[in-house]
Amino acid sequence: MAIEDEIKQFFAAEEIHLPESMKLLIELKDKFNIPEFDADAILQSIKGDGEHAKKSRMYLRNRIRESLNACQRCPLYLSETHTQKVPGEGPLNSPLVLIGEGPGLDEDKQGRPFVGRAGQLLTTILDKLNISREKIYITNVIKCRPPQNRTPNKKEITACSHNLELELSMISPKVIIALGAVPLNYFKPGSSIMRERGRWITSRGYWIMPTFHPAYILRQQGKTLVKVKWAVWHDFNNALEKLTELYPEAISKISYNEKE
The contact pattern for ligand URA, residues 178-217, with x = CB under 6 A and - = no contact, is -------------------------------------x--
Q: Which residue is nearest to ligand URA (CB)?
A: 100
The minimum distance between CB 186 and ligand URA, in angstroms, equals 12
Q: Which of 46, 118, 166, 232 is in the footprint of ligand URA by CB under 6 A? A: 118
100 binds ligand URA per the rule CB under 6 A: yes
156 contributes a contact to ligand URA by CB under 6 A: no
Task: Assess contact for 142 and 67: CB atoms under 8 A.
Answer: no
Nearest to 167 by CA among 24, 11, 13: 24
Q: Looking at beta carbons only, is 186 or 207 nearer to ligand URA?
A: 186
CB 144 within 8 A of CB 103: yes
104 is a contact residue toward ligand URA (CB under 6 A): yes
**How would DSSP label each residue in 118-135?**
HHHHHHHHHHHTTB-GGG
- If one asks whether residue 102 binds ligand URA (CB under 6 A), the answer comes out as yes
Nearest CB to ligand URA, comparing residues 29 and 186: 186
Long-range Cβ contacts of 77-81 (<8 Å, 24+ apart): 77/144, 79/144, 79/145, 79/146, 79/147, 80/147, 81/105, 81/108, 81/145, 81/146, 81/147, 81/148
CB of 83 to ligand URA, least distance (A): 14
Beta-strand (E) ranges in 130-199?
A: 137-140, 175-179
Residue 88 interacts with ligand URA (CB under 6 A): yes or no: no
- Give the one residue of 95, 113, 146, 173 binding ligand URA; rule: CB under 6 A: 113
Asked if residues 77 and 71 have their Cβ atoms less than 8 Å apart, the reply is yes
The conformation of residue 146, written as its DSSP 8-state character, comes to P
| Contact residues for ligand URA, defined by CB under 6 A | 100-104, 107, 113-114, 116, 118-119, 140, 215
